[in-house]
């Protein structure tokens, strides 16, 4: 079965006060990580204020779920302290956020999406840091995010704890495209992020082997367009027909990141038209999972 990882990952445009710029300095990478940690921290802080232990129980969760999520919230707050210490006066400040959860179930589902995105973000940007010490720190945060995502997906949501042998590394443009709709505005004094979101993409429900309908807008190219599916360290690219439909390949399992590209053989930020949308294809414990 197909499950959207987060029900509104393509919402409003991101409202940054400063212009975008490119760059991969340590300061820019750490500030990007801090931006994501601020978002996660705000999400958990607001959610735990809205949903009591009783409301979690009424939603069908075991009594321990809210307690574990409280621990995750503490992790994110600790990550913020570490990153701010490393950045000093160069540290960016938190933004204003808006999250679409409306009950404990939607809150936990969105937590799954954010943690999964956090894993891919650190996996994509962490290796770009210039020193072994910084890379070690990023890797330590990444592994914790992965443990959190796995716990939420398996223990809290009774789903699959992993997708396969590898996670998907995503670059900053791809990550900011996923979280873009949750950020309402940022302080004008914040340094500019070295990332730019792509146009929104919506993917209709479907299972491997079936057609899905893609909704996106592109003002710069007449096509042809292709659907790229990032799974682990592999990328599968299939054509999009004139009705904006594409056939999902067989064998997709777990979290797969979808985007629209103008290239039939390679994914790059320069050829990406729309996305990125995380999709989740559930699979049985008895299934092959290479």
| pLDDT tens digits, one per residue of 244-286 | 999 999 999 999 999 999 999 999 999 999 999 999 999 999 9
Asked whether the predicted pLDDT for residue 65 surpasses 80, the reply is yes
Query: How are beta strands 226-231 and 272-281 bridged, if at all?
Result: unpaired
Same domain, 78 and 13: yes
- Look at the chain and report how many structural domains it folds into: 2
Contact between 275 and 259 (Cβ < 8 Å) = yes
Check residue 20 and give its pLDDT.
37
Provide the mean pLDDT of the chain: 91
- Torsion sign over Cα 78, 107, 175, 232: positive
Residue 82: pLDDT band with limits 50, 70, 90? very high
C-alpha–C-alpha distance, residues 91 and 94, integer Å: 10
Residue 31: pLDDT band with limits 50, 70, 90? very high
Same domain, 205 and 180: no
What would the DSSP string read from start to end of 55-123?
Answer: HHHHTT--THHHHHHHHHHHHHHHHHHHHHHHHGGG-----EE-----SHHHHHHHHHHHHHHHHHHHH
Residue 17: pLDDT band with limits 50, 70, 90? very low
Q: Which of 185, 213, 239 is the last residue of a domain?
A: 185
Assign residue 151 the CATH number of its domain: 1.20.1260.10
Rounded to two decimals, the pTM is 0.90
Tens digits of per-residue pLDDT, 6-16? 443 433 333 33
Same domain, 29 and 172: yes
Same domain, 124 and 158: yes
Q: What's the whole-number mean pLDDT along residues 143-151?
A: 98
Check residue 23 and give its pLDDT.
54
Report which secondary-structure segment, H or E, holds 22.
none
**Which of 173, 178, 116 is closest to 142 using CA atoms?**
116
Residue 18: Cβ within 10 Å count: 14
Would residue 195 count as lying in a domain? Answer: no
Would residue 18 count as lying in a domain? Answer: yes
Same domain, 116 and 206: no
Same domain, 43 and 175: yes
Tens digits of per-residue pLDDT, 187-225? 999 988 878 999 999 999 999 999 999 999 887 777 799
Assign residue 268 the CATH number of its domain: 2.60.40
Same domain, 89 and 216: no
Asked whether the predicted pLDDT for residue 19 surpasses 80, the reply is no
Tens digits of per-residue pLDDT, 88-138? 999 999 999 999 999 999 999 999 999 999 999 999 999 999 999 999 999
**Which of 100, 119, 134, 139 is closest to 12 using CA atoms?**
100
Same domain, 147 and 218: no
The parent domain of residue 221 ranges over 201-281
Here the tokens at position 6 are: 């987060």
C-alpha–C-alpha distance, residues 204 and 4, integer Å: 9
Would residue 192 count as lying in a domain? Answer: no
Instruction: Name 104's bridge partners.
Output: none
Would residue 110 count as lying in a domain? Answer: yes
């Amino acid at each position: 079965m197909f499950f959207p990882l987060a029900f509104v990952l393509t919402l409003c445009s991101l409202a940054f006060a400063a212009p975008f710029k490119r760059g991969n300095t340590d300061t820019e990478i750490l500030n990007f990580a801090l931006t994501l940690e601020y978002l996660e921290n705000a999400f958990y802080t607001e959610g735990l204020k809205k949903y009591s232990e009783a409301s979690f129980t009424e939603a069908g969760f075991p009594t321990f779920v809210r307690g574990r999520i409280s621990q995750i919230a503490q992790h994110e707050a600790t990550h913020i302290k570490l990153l701010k210490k490393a950045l000093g006066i160069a540290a960016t400040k938190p933004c204003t956020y808006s999250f679409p959860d409306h009950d404990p179930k939607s809150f936990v589902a969105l937590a799954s999406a954010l943690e999964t995105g956090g894993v891919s973000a650190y996996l994509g940007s962490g290796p770009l840091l210039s020193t072994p010490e910084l890379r070690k720190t990023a890797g330590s945060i990444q592994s914790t995010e992965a443990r959190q995502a796995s716990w939420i997906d398996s223990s809290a949501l009774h789903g699959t704890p992993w997708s396969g042998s590898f996670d998907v590394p995503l670059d900053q443009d791809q990550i900011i495209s996923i979280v873009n709709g949750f950020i309402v505005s940022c302080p004008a004094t914040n340094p500019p992020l070295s990332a730019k979101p792509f146009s929104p993409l919506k993917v209709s429900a479907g299972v491997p082997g079936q057609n899905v309908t893609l909704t996106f807008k592109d003002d710069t190219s007449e096509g042809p367009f292709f659907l790229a599916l990032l799974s682990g360290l592999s990328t599968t690219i299939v054509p999009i027909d004139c009705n904006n439909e594409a056939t999902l390949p067989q064998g997709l399992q777990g979290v797969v990141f979808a985007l629209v590209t103008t290239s039939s053989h390679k994914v790059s930020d320069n050829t990406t038209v729309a996305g990125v949308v995380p999709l989740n294809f559930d699979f049985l414990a008895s299934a092959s999972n290479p």
